Amino acid sequence: MDTQALEGGYANAPVDAAQAFRAIMRVMARPGTIEDITGTAPPAPLSVAAGAVLLTLCDPETPVHLAGGHDTASIRDWITFHTGAPLVAPDKAAFAVGTWDDLPLPAFPLGTSEYPDRSTTLIIERDAFSQQGATLQGPGIKDAARLSLPETEAFQANRRHFPLGLDFIFTSGSRIAALPRSTRVS
């Protein structure tokens, strides 16, 4: 039996998840800031940070979509064992994991005008990102912040749907940043 899926979870789930959530909340509340989250050892190519986001936020109530190179048997088994989240197509997903090029953005739900919270949160795996590049403005940002993004047009289009829209979490190794739908990108 392959036991890899059984390993790499939180050693002390209540405390590890609380600390990971604090980092996720801080980056979501302050677009452009970058934090570190650790505590998991997911199978490659899933990053430590993406693994921590999944273990902190996902459970049987949150359908997850795996895109492209992240849709492997070992990642499926790991998510299923540790979270119990159903693995689904993009139009049913509460969370999705993959690289920018692999994720089919138009396929994900944006929420409804009465329930804008019913939209997908995308976890985008990247080689690296830093506080340079695109200018971010909006809630959570004092004057302006900077974050290197894969492109700007898609995020500007997403902002035009506000209050509907997708929310983005960027992960690279143990680093995490976020871009909620409320942020104006230029």
Partner 1 sequence: MTDYNFAYLDEQTKRMIRRAILKGLAVPGYQVPFASREMPMPYGWGTGGVQVSAAVLTPDDTFKVIDQGADDTTNAVSIRRFFEKTAGVAVTEKTAKASVIQTRHRIPETDLTEDQILVYQVPIPEPLRFLEPSEVETRKMHALEEYGLMHVKLYEDISQHGAIATAYAYPVKVEGRYVMDPSPIPKFDNPKLNMAGIQLFGAGREQRIYAVPPYTQVVSLDFEDHPFEASKADHACDLCGSTTSYLDELIVDDEGGRMFMCSDTDFCAARREDAA
Distance CA 61, CA 108 (A): 17
Measured at the alpha carbon of residue 53, what is the angle toward residues 82 and 119, in degrees to the nearest 5? 105
Given 9, 140, 170, 175, the residue binding partner 1 (CB under 8 A): 140
Distance CA 91, CA 77 (A): 21
3-state secondary structure of 119: strand
- For residues 64 to 103, the per-residue mask of contacts with partner 1, x marking binding by CB under 8 A and - elsewhere, is ------------------------------x---------
- Told to check if 158 binds partner 1 by CB under 8 A, we report no
The partner residues of 137 in beta bridges, in order of sequence, read 184
Give the binding range for partner 1 (CB under 8 A) out of 28-36, 41-49, 71-79, 96-104. Answer: 28-36
Q: If you ran DSSP here, which 8-state letter would residue 87 be given?
A: B
Distance CA 182, CA 48 (A): 27
Measured at the alpha carbon of residue 93, what is the angle toward residues 23 and 20, in degrees to the nearest 5? 15
Given 116, 133, 150, 173, the residue binding partner 1 (CB under 8 A): 116
Give the binding range for partner 1 (CB under 8 A) out of 14-22, 34-42, 67-75, 127-135. Answer: 14-22
Residue at 59: amino acid letter? D
Give the binding range for partner 1 (CB under 8 A) out of 41-49, 74-82, 124-132, 133-141. Answer: 133-141
List contacts with partner 1 (CB under 8 A): 13-15, 17-19, 21-22, 24-26, 28-30, 56-59, 61-62, 94, 112-117, 119, 121, 138-142, 162-163, 165, 167, 180-182
